[in-house]
Amino acid sequence: MALLRIKNGVEAGTALPLRRGTLRFGRSGANDLKISDPSISGSHCEVTLDETENLLVRDLGSSAGTFIEGQRITEALLIPGQRLRLGGVELVLESTSPRTPSQSAVAPNCETDEDRTHALTPLSETSPRQVSSRCGAAQRVNG
Three-state SS for 136? coil
For 31-90, what is each residue's pLDDT tens digit?
Answer: 999 999 999 999 999 999 888 888 999 999 999 999 999 999 999 999 999 999 999 999
For 86-139, what is each residue's pLDDT tens digit?
Answer: 999 999 999 877 654 444 444 333 444 444 444 444 444 443 333 333 333 333
| H/E segment holding residue 25 | strand 21-26
pLDDT in the model for residue 134: 36
Residue of 30, 33, 28 lying closest to 57 (CA atoms): 33
Q: Which position has the higher pLDDT, 108 or 2?
A: 2
For 6-35, what is each residue's pLDDT tens digit?
Answer: 999 888 999 999 998 899 999 999 999 999
d(CA 31, CA 133): 33
pLDDT in the model for residue 7: 96
Do 57 and 42 form a contact (C-beta atoms < 8 A)? no
Q: Taking the complete model, does pTM exceed 0.75, yes or no?
A: no
pLDDT in the model for residue 52: 83
pLDDT in the model for residue 17: 92
| Residue 27 phi, psi (nearest 5) | -80, -25
Distances, alpha carbon 99 to alpha carbons 11, 17, 53, 82, 111, in Å: 28, 18, 9, 14, 18
d(CA 128, CA 131): 8
